[in-house]
Structure 1
Amino acid sequence: MLHYNFKLRAILFASVAVFGLVSCSDDDEPTPPAQQDLRAKIDYAKVTPTTPYKSLFIDAKGDTTADLKSGTDRYRMFQALNYYLGSAVRDSATLDAAVMKNMFANTGNPFKDIKSGAVLVNGADLNASGVQLRNVTASSRASAEAEANRAALDGYFGEMAEASKSVKVKAAKGVAGKLGNYLVTARGIEMAQIIQKGLIGALQLDYIGNVLLDKGLEADNKTLVSGKKYTALEHNWDEAFGLLTPNPILLEGANMSEKGAKATEQFLGSYLWEYNREVSSKIHTAFLKGRVAIVNNDKTELKTQATLIRTELEKAVAKAAVGYLDKWKKGTDDPARAHAIGEGLGFIYSLRFCTINGADATFSDAILKGLIDPVASPNGFWDLTNDKINAASDAINAKFKL
């Protein structure tokens, strides 16, 4: 059962240069050489919606300067964790909280090979990658708040493992088990959705938008990282793209159908297309233009593209939250409604990372409390009403001007 204690878990899951003095006069001082550009400038006209991400970024020797591996490794770790969560229903498996925690922190060689549709995981490569999900989750926050969010997720893994013990039981009010095709807790909460949508916000949205494309833009762009072919700023931007998608062209083919989009993208990328479709096609171009701006030392264009990306990713999360609340209202049976609210609650939690729009933990927690406060609504999902759903939707619509 979910407990009311801290933040979301209370509600749901709960370089200085030193110059030597010289004795010559000002007239004798040599004029310092102008800073040489590290790269040859790239014409912005070369950017198109179908330009593969790495194709434009080549150094004088013909080597790529774009390295997406750290971002893509984390994306694959997210896929592997999500795939494991799905095994409870898919395989009627009892899950182990320790396995999920190890995947989250990349400890104990937890990853195994997976080849299933868009989920292509090389376990050994991830185990040896030197990166993890846990230390960048909620990493824009002060250390205590960041750690509280990470610890809460560790707790949700325990909730998921506990619910999986009842995968062969029919769920009902106060009874964990399967509700249709969905595994829920005794309060009717689908923990797999809480974890997945929570990580879309705390991992992808926060690390991409509030770290790499915010303070990360202040990184050095004058010198190469030791032993690498890229600058620190170039790498921050590349890491952001890699964490959003493992594909060279974001949302390639997604204009065909929703099913097609789901097949090519997962997590934040898929919801960007589903809930912010009118501008989703601009995000790949924005990533390319921003990376070209780094090459060109064009800070104004860089900031413009970073802000565009952050704004539209946040809007996708907010629209998804409202969209799933609406799906609860339109649901024709308890399984459909429980699944919708599970996704909705996860996205509402993620609103706390929508800093461009001024949302924070206080905002998202208040909405969550109005929906499933354990005191006012001890039965969680089973106590939801149209009035509660409408109040939550109204609050989000007003905040994000949807």
Structure 2
Amino acid sequence: MNLASLQKALLILAVFGLGLSSCKKDDDSYDVPETYSFENVSYSGQTDRLDMLGELAAYAKSASALSANALDANSMKDMFANQNDPFADADLNASSKQLKSKTVSTEQTLMEDLMDALATASMYTDSTASSGQAGIMQTNDGASSYLLNANGLELAQVIEKGIMGACFYYQATAVYMGSGKMDVDNETVVEGEGTEMEHHWDEAFGYFGAPTDYPSNTTGIRFWGKYADGSRETYLSTGTNLMNALIEGRAAISAQDLDERDAQIAIAREQWELVLAGSALHYINKGIANLSDDAAAAHHALSEAYAFVYGLKFGGLQTLSTADVDAILVQVGNHADPLQANLYNSTSANLQAAKTALVNAFPALASVQDQL
């Protein structure tokens, strides 16, 4: 090949290479905001459901004092299904949204059975709770009191956290971050909602229960936003990590960077699941600490621990099999069915076994298992 031909060939290769490089995505080609501040964001349906659970949980806990009024199971079920105008907030009654239809179908009847059981227990607010006797149990300092069923379980906590897990956590990580909601149109922008994919991601964010500038602002945090904070944020950075994943995933969707979206889905699912595991461990620790000294505090903590473990069945990432989750529920409450669980039979040895099982499944807990 003569010199002129060689130069021509090199020029062609250079131009071809320039064409290839111009098609390659620049990793810095789009901005990621510091807060969840994007155009066309809407998750009002999720806000409605958080408000609905807020009213339902407040009503369920209203029987947690001596001589409190008994609860009506049908009122709780109406709040669950948003029927018969059950809410104090008229806007919620007018909403087309509900909790029941978004709760894992296999768990809907259980939630309603728990409401029946809670209403039955609330008939005994004049009694002191003890093994075999539903009633009120007060902490040693008298500052707090809880309504327990005959087996020592605070059903109001199991209902609230149960819906948080089988509805909010499930919908956000298994449904809205799943292929059915992510493999959709990401071109057509609907004013106020964005593309279909953007809207689905925003709905997942809505179930988190945190302001758009969380975790620097924790005003009004509730449900998962609340439990990602506190000691879980201090020792595991769950609030920061989960919020960053939600922000970066949304930015990636808007930039058509679906590989990065998928990477952030994996992080969000991992961190959200860690909120459940870390919260379960936190309350197991409190249960162990109070088991022999303050029965009311122990029963309250272990009821929350039981409910957070239960929620581990419903995520888009399920590190523990359902059988493994049930085994931990047995260690915490002596039965995998909350209607049969009995906290009066809980022992330090069994609670330590539950703690070990969680640490083994979630290595991030190992170094902070006693601090959470």
Q: TM-score, normalised by structure 2?
A: 0.80
Q: Structure 1 residue 324: deviation in Å? A: 1.0
Per the alignment, do residues 292 and 161 of structure 1 end up closer, same or farther by CA in structure 2, a change over 3 Å counting? same
- Tell me the distance in 1 between the aligned counterparts of 2:118 and 2:274: 29
Q: Give the equivalent residue in structure 2 for 1:290.
A: 249
Q: Distance in 2 between matches of 1:44 and 1:72?
A: 29
2:33 paired residue number: 47
Match of 2:197 in 1: 233
Q: Which amino acid aligns with 2:274?
A: K
Deviation at 1:219, TM superposition (A): 2.3
1:337 maps onto 2:298 in alignment: yes
Distance (Å, rounded) in 1 between the aligned partners of 2:244 and 2:316: 23
Note the 1:109-128 alignment, pairs <5 A. Answer: 109-112=85-88, 123-128=89-94
Q: Distance in 1 between matches of 2:75 and 2:208?
A: 24
Relative to structure 1, the CA distance from residue 205 to residue 360 in structure 2 (aligned partners, 3 Å threshold; closer, same or farther) is farther
- Is 1:397 paired with 2:359? yes
In 2, Cα distance between equivalents of 1:125 and 1:94: 26
Write the distance in 2 (CA, Å) between the matches of 1:319 and 1:149.
23
Task: Specify the alignment match of 2:222 in structure 1.
Answer: 266
8 Å CA contact 2:178–2:316 kept in 1: the answer is no
Give 2:99's match in structure 1, choosing from 133, 155, 170.
133
SS in structure 2 at match of 1:182: strand
Change (3 A) 1:299 1:374: closer
Q: Aligned partners of 2:81 and 2:278: how far apart in 1?
A: 30
| Contact 1:173/1:379 (8 A) holds in 2 | no
| Paired-residue identity, % | 31
How far 1:334 moved relative to its partner?
A: 0.5
Cα separation, 2, equivalents of 1:246 and 1:128: 24
Match of 2:346 in 1: 384
Alpha-carbon distance between aligned partners in 2 of 1:321 and 1:229, rounded to the nearest angstrom? 35
Are 2:268 and 1:302 aligned?
A: no
Does 2:78 match 1:102? yes
SS at match of 1:165: helix
1:347 and 2:308 correspond = yes
Deviation at 1:349, TM superposition (A): 0.7
Unaligned runs of 5+ in 2: 1-27, 139-144, 366-372
User: Using the alignment, how far apart are the partners of 2:29 and 2:70 within structure 1?
Assistant: 55
What is the correspondence of 1:307-318 to structure 2 with a 5 Å cutoff?
Answer: 307-318=266-277
Q: How far apart are the structure 1 equivalents of 2:231 and 2:196?
A: 32
User: Of the two, which has the highest radius of gyration?
Assistant: 2
Q: RMSD value over aligned CA atoms?
A: 2.2
Whether 1:217 and 2:178 are equivalent positions in the alignment is: no
Per the TM alignment, residue 300 of structure 1 is displaced from its structure 2 partner at its CA by: 1.1
Larger relative contact order (Cα-Cα within 8 Å, sequence gap ≥ 6): 1
- CA deviations over 1:157-180 (Å, ceiling 9, x no partner): 011111111112111111100011
Residues 168 and 178, structure 1, Cα contact 8 Å, conserved in 2 = yes
Deviation at 1:228, TM superposition (A): 6.3
Q: Find the aligned partners of 1:379 and 1:66 in 2 and give their Cα distance.
A: 42
- Separation of aligned partners in 1, 2:341 and 2:160: 22
Query: Aligned with 2:68: secondary structure?
Result: coil
> How far apart, in 2, do the equivalents of 1:399 and 1:287 lie?
24
Q: Secondary structure of the equivalent of 1:179? A: strand
Q: Deviations over 1:23-59 (max 9, x none)?
A: xxxxxxxxxxxxxxxxxxx9644511xx3x3x431xx
Mapping 1:9-48, distance limit 5 Å: 44-48=30-34
**Residue 229 of structure 1, CA deviation:** 4.5
1:85 equivalenced with 2:71 (yes/no): no
For residues 229 and 149 of structure 1, do their structure 2 counterparts lie closer, same or farther at Cα, with a shift above 3 Å needed?
Answer: closer
Which SS does the other structure have where 2:136 is aligned? strand
User: Would you say 1:56 and 2:38 are equivalent positions?
Assistant: yes
